[in-house]
Structure 1
Amino acid sequence: MVSAPAGVAGHRPHDLLWPERASSLIISGPPPPWATPAWLAVAPVVVRRATLADPAQVPVGLRGSTRSERCAARLPARHVVRVLKPEEIARSAAGSARVRESPLACLQALARLGPALDALPLAWGVTGSVGFSLASGFDVLRAGSDLDLILRAPLAAGADALRAVARLLRDLDARVDAQVETPFGAFALQEWVRTGGPVLLKTSRGPVLTDDAWSSPDAAFFDAACRPMPA
């Protein structure tokens, strides 16, 4: 099975990276007040979807303890000391008492979905605030936190499995945002099910509306006015 292409040093969007030191992170302009050296020294950063001029750097996003605390940055690949992929977070969550016993709807949804997703012929992982919290141990989840998932679908032939996932997401107490990753970008599962095909594909060059998310987007379709969207 063909896998989605990886980025610098094999890093993909949504991978969590731990920098060698806080000073390894390159931020344009002054860092936001919440991005203190003490926080950046222990919190992982997330690989974001972007193209950088320097191929030896990884585009990353800094996360704080609240939803509004986000900041774009760059990280030299040689300064990455640890990597945790969404699939690895999902596997660790399967045996986590924190997930099984949590009163939070997002973690209850994860506990319920995990075995069913494992039974399908696709790779999947946990991203967003749930993935960040499970990977780092920081308590950043709230009662209304979403559950964010990534579904690896390198071939269009996996469409039946994707439709099965969409059915699993019904009647959950938590909102679940499932992103489907193809070799050319990512799109929202619910949008694809609703439209029957046309989706907004998030690529490293920016968003593009396409009828086939498993084909390379034509550069002519990119809207120059659109700024690159986060992963």
Structure 2
Amino acid sequence: MEIRTHDIIRVDDISKLVCLTEVPEWVTGELTDKPFVVVRRAAGLEGRVPVGIRGETRNQRFGCFLPEEECSIVISPEQLTKEKPWKQTDRRLSIVAIEVLDRVDELMTSEEMIWGPTGSVGFELASGLDTAHAGSDLDLVIRSDQPLPMDKAKRLVQELSQFPVHIDVQLETGKGACSLAEYSRGQDSLLLKTVNGPMLVKDPWSEH
């Protein structure tokens, strides 16, 4: 099973999590109520997946590791796009970031993009827990192992800017991730997030 950044994993035994730093007090309570973690972008330990734990607020984030053998239930953003759980939730009636997903899906399908929701919306759809709210932005990931044509990138950014919610798209290139909006500007360099940290690059698909 390939496990990638943004995937969500159900944790059946929180005692199996490996933490290299002191665990904040809020972590145990959060995992008891919400036994899910998000795969984060970091160098892994041997046989262990780097994961992050979400708290109630943005500043409550904690990184640790989960043994690969404990990753029995893994939900990817692309799986959410395929299964479309947003169609079965009444929360779409009150949360714009969920309500627009049908239209986003139509756009991405027309542009032949491999994509999925991440952030609080993706976490809610994967876990079934109420983590998004009325003011939530919509975070998306597009996976493109081949260079994305600049005209298509510009068109996507323009179309998504017309939606009634702020949409932030991360472009996963296989070498790391960059902002779709930043990439579409065609600048000489852009910020690429990698497992070894952020770096400025000219081509986000090249080896660095």
**TM-score of the two chains, using structure 2 as the length reference:** 0.90
Structural mapping, 1:3-152, within 5 Å:
10-36=2-28, 39-40=31-32, 42-52=34-44, 54-93=45-84, 96-98=87-89, 101-152=92-143
Deviations 1:161-205 (A, max 9, x none): 333321221222211110001121000011112244521000111
Native 8 Å contact 1:122 1:161 kept in 2: no
Provide the C-alpha distance between the structure 2 equivalents of 1:211 and 1:99, rounded to a whole number of angstroms. Answer: 44
Q: Which amino acid aligns with 1:26?
A: V
Q: Which amino acid aligns with 1:73?
A: C
Native 8 Å contact 1:87 1:124 kept in 2: yes
Provide the C-alpha distance between the structure 2 equivalents of 1:192 and 1:58, rounded to a whole number of angstroms. Answer: 28
Provide the C-alpha distance between the structure 2 equivalents of 1:100 and 1:207, rounded to a whole number of angstroms. Answer: 35
Deviations 1:82-134 (A, max 9, x none): 01011011223366132784222211232321111122222111111100011
Provide the C-alpha distance between the structure 2 equivalents of 1:112 and 1:143, rounded to a whole number of angstroms. Answer: 18
Provide the C-alpha distance between the structure 2 equivalents of 1:143 and 1:41, rounded to a whole number of angstroms. Answer: 21
Provide the C-alpha distance between the structure 1 equivalents of 2:35 and 2:18, rounded to a whole number of angstroms. Answer: 15
**Structure 2, unaligned runs of 5 or more:** none
Native 8 Å contact 1:45 1:60 kept in 2: yes
Provide the C-alpha distance between the structure 2 equivalents of 1:38 and 1:148, rounded to a whole number of angstroms. Answer: 22
Provide the C-alpha distance between the structure 1 equivalents of 2:77 and 2:168, rounded to a whole number of angstroms. Answer: 14
CA 1:99–1:125 in structure 2 vs 1: closer, same or farther (change >3 Å)?
farther
**TM-score of the two chains, using structure 1 as the length reference:** 0.82
How far off is 1:159 after superposition? 4.0
Greater relative contact order (Cα < 8 A, sep 6+)? 1
Q: Which amino acid aligns with 1:169?
A: L
Partner of 1:183: 174
How far off is 1:42 after superposition? 4.4
Partner of 1:165: 156
Deviations 1:122-154 (A, max 9, x none): 211111110001111111112221111000111
Aligned pair count reads 208
How far off is 1:68 after superposition? 2.5
Provide the C-alpha distance between the structure 2 equivalents of 1:116 and 1:171, rounded to a whole number of angstroms. Answer: 12
CA 1:157–1:198 in structure 2 vs 1: closer, same or farther (change >3 Å)?
same
Provide the C-alpha distance between the structure 1 equivalents of 2:89 and 2:9, rounded to a whole number of angstroms. Answer: 22
2:165 to 150, 174, 178: 174
Say what the alpha-carbon RMSD is for the aligned residues: 2.1
**Structure 1, unaligned runs of 5 or more:** 1-8, 218-231
Report which stretch shifted further, 14-23 or 184-193.
14-23
Native 8 Å contact 1:109 1:147 kept in 2: no
Name the % identity. Answer: 35
Provide the C-alpha distance between the structure 1 equivalents of 2:169 and 2:202, rounded to a whole number of angstroms. Answer: 19
